[in-house]
Structure 1
Amino acid sequence: MHRTAIASLAAALLTGASPAAACEGLRMAPGGLVTEVVDGDTVLLDSGLAVRLIGTQAPKLPLGRDDVSAWPLAPEAKAALENLALRREVQLGYGGEEKDRYGRALAHLFVGSGDSLVWAQMHMIEAGLARVYSFPDNRRCLDQLLAGEARARAERLGIWTDPYYSVRAADRPDEWLDRAGGYELVEGRVLLADKNGPRVYLNFGRFWKEDFTAVIEAPALRLFERDGLDPLLLEGALVRIRGWVDDRDGPRIEVTHPEQIEVVARP
């Protein structure tokens, strides 16, 4: 059964989570031998299959793109995944959409065999060399990964010592508006949760054309409803929202599934 990061909006404090040792409920499949580590969240197998470690985002490398600069700690993240997985047998676990538009497998990666499997996603996140990055069609085990990320952040491991990855203050968007186009974690108190037509707006300031806003469109609202969650109940709550920032009437993040919102403190 699918478990969400916030089982209900009345009792959704991730700080109280106690993650299990490994992700369960997946469709397991043989993987093969890892022949190359592309970066901190992508590997190549001896079959020629590229595997994207679903649920995580490691610091990015240019990978031959002239217009892309390496993110801080990108070489360290790649080295950590190499130390874990390179030239080792792996198994793949699927918990949602199984291929992306590039033909890469979207899978949880388990390194080793028998009872000694290491869940690569959790390994990278707990080391502070990746953060949780999720999709509405691939939500398995995000609660565990979010709890692992919270531990790494609390211990200031890896990326959590670098300002590039800092959690942004929702009430000070002028300090990070230049991050528009990037993937960010933004934390603040919801001043107003309001439904207007088919969408819900979570407003973090009094001037919606300037302040930070999270937008939940109709398809995402159906996922909230399916999980028994009402985002309007977030009014007054201190929350952390993750996603891609755009600049439309002030900085915004579109929330496409419930796990993008972590409740830090209830109203």
Structure 2
Amino acid sequence: MRRTTFASFATVMLAGLGPAQAQACEALRMVPAGQVVKVTDGDTVVLDSGLVVRLIGTQAPKLPLGREGFPTWPLAPEAKSALEALVLHKSVQLGYGGEEVDRYDRALAHLFVSDGNEDLVWAQLHMVQTGLARVYSFPDNRQCLDQLFAGEAQARAERLGIWADPYYRVRAAERPAELAGLAGSYELVEGRVLLADRSGSRVYLNFGRIWKEDFTVVLEAPALRLFAQDGLDPLTLDGALIRVRGWVDKRDGPRIEVTHPEQIEVLARQ
């Protein structure tokens, strides 16, 4: 499995990225799954067996789904409709490449549906290529992310779907006050690492000189073990222009905790 972690933007933008066909992701355990009878939102479906499937590797705009006070994210209805058009009442296969069940007993899988010509369309790639989902990875589910990153990069470059909406814009690391106001949200943040430093069992990527106010990326020991397994050293990111994705929290300024290498893309080296 080739990983795009620490790859340049040009490498991530794979030349000639084609339709979301099954052969784009081969490192999976494929199983027949039945028919989709319900689409809950842009990244969750229900099969005729009753199995709920969370489309691993992506995050579509969210719907409230009964959660009081939860806002409908921009383009959430459109994402649900697009997934319905692709998979509803169709036979599908599931592809497993990591942890297979979450704490809600949902299957964590890649979803493939026949396009009517004996080819399988990869639902996750279709959604990111059309700009109706973004890449959202986990430390225990890291297969097939190269292709999803490429699809997302293409959609973002073409300003498709969510990438034309300011709600989903890539944030600037040098605007910590704005990022602090986004605590609790999942964001993509770009900026140049001023200092990559280790303190005890942690590594910090600092984007400003005032560490209690400026944006910071934090890597704890479990994340550092995954980086080491991939032969990557986050301390080499000193001076690099990077894009990081994750949930923003606010501890001594806004920060994102990185739990696995795919959360960081290198855009340029100093």
Out of 174-183 and 73-82, give the one that drifted further. Answer: 174-183
What residue in structure 1 maps to residue 262 of structure 2?
259
What residue in structure 1 maps to residue 141 of structure 2?
138
Could you tell me how far 1:15 is from its partner in structure 2? 2.4
Could you tell me how far 1:176 is from its partner in structure 2? 3.2
Say whether 1:90 aligns with 2:92. yes
Count of aligned pairs: 262
SS at match of 1:70: coil
What residue in structure 2 maps to residue 101 of structure 1?
103
Q: Give the Cα–Cα distance (whole angstroms) in 2 for the partners of residues 35 and 125 of structure 1.
A: 22
1:13 paired residue among 8, 23, 26: 8
Report the identity percentage.
Answer: 73
Q: Give the Cα–Cα distance (whole angstroms) in 1 for the partners of residues 132 and 10 of structure 2.
A: 20
Could you tell me how far 1:115 is from its partner in structure 2? 3.7
CA contact (8 A) 1:4 1:258 kept: no
TM-score, L = length of structure 2: 0.95
In the TM superposition, what whole-angstrom CA distance separates every residue of 1:172-206 from its partner, at most 9, and x where no partner exists? 12123211000000000000000110010000000
What residue in structure 1 maps to residue 192 of structure 2?
189
CA-based RMSD of the aligned residues comes to 1.2
TM-score, L = length of structure 1: 0.96
What residue in structure 2 maps to residue 39 of structure 1?
41
SS at match of 1:176: helix
Could you tell me how far 1:45 is from its partner in structure 2? 0.2
2:239 paired residue among 236, 240, 243: 236
CA contact (8 A) 1:243 1:255 kept: yes
SS at match of 1:179: coil
SS at match of 2:181: helix
What residue in structure 2 maps to residue 120 of structure 1?
123
SS at match of 1:252: strand
Say whether 1:158 aligns with 2:161. yes
1:63 paired residue among 65, 87, 107: 65
Q: Give the Cα–Cα distance (whole angstroms) in 2 for the partners of residues 249 and 25 of structure 1.
A: 40
Could you tell me how far 1:14 is from its partner in structure 2? 3.5
Q: Give the Cα–Cα distance (whole angstroms) in 2 for the partners of residues 32 and 204 of structure 1.
A: 48
CA contact (8 A) 1:5 1:14 kept: no
Q: Give the Cα–Cα distance (whole angstroms) in 2 for the partners of residues 119 and 14 of structure 1.
A: 23
